[in-house]
Amino acid sequence: MAEAIDDLTVAYHEGGEEVVRELDKAVLTRGAWTTILFKYTELDRSTGDFGQTRFTIRRYQKRGGSFIPKSRFNISSVDQAKKIRDTLDGWIAEEEGS
């Protein structure tokens, strides 16, 4: 388990092979409860290539000096990410009276 926010990752290796490649991350909140948005891709074992870009939002709680994963939401495609973005943009505009 990670002791620092910068050490948190979705990258994953299995049997010495990279199966999840982290492409980027954005820390949305810091503190005892930390939220991070990750951009990643997964290995397609049938082709040996990494597939389409995906996103995940992960929440961690710091306990005993380490960050423990508590929840996650996976965004399975760029199209789904755009729909989430567009919906949030609309809601925020309503809140701001635009």
Q: What percent of the chain has pLDDT over 70?
A: 99
Residue 75 pLDDT > 90: yes
pLDDT score for 98? 63
Question: Which residue's structure tokens are 């909140």?
Answer: 29
Q: Whose CA is closest to 42, among 72, 80, 5, 13? A: 13
End-to-end CA distance of the chain: 44
Give the pLDDT of residue 78.
94
Note the pLDDT of residue 64: 93
CB 41 within 8 A of CB 54: yes
Distance between CA atoms of residues 73 and 56, nearest Å: 6
pLDDT over 90 (residue 97) = no
Token pair belonging to 89? 């943009």
Within 10-50, strands assigned E span 12-14, 17-29, 33-44, 49-50
pTM above 0.95, yes or no: no
Closest CA to 34 of 10, 11, 68, 76: 68
Q: Token pair of 3, please?
A: 């002791």
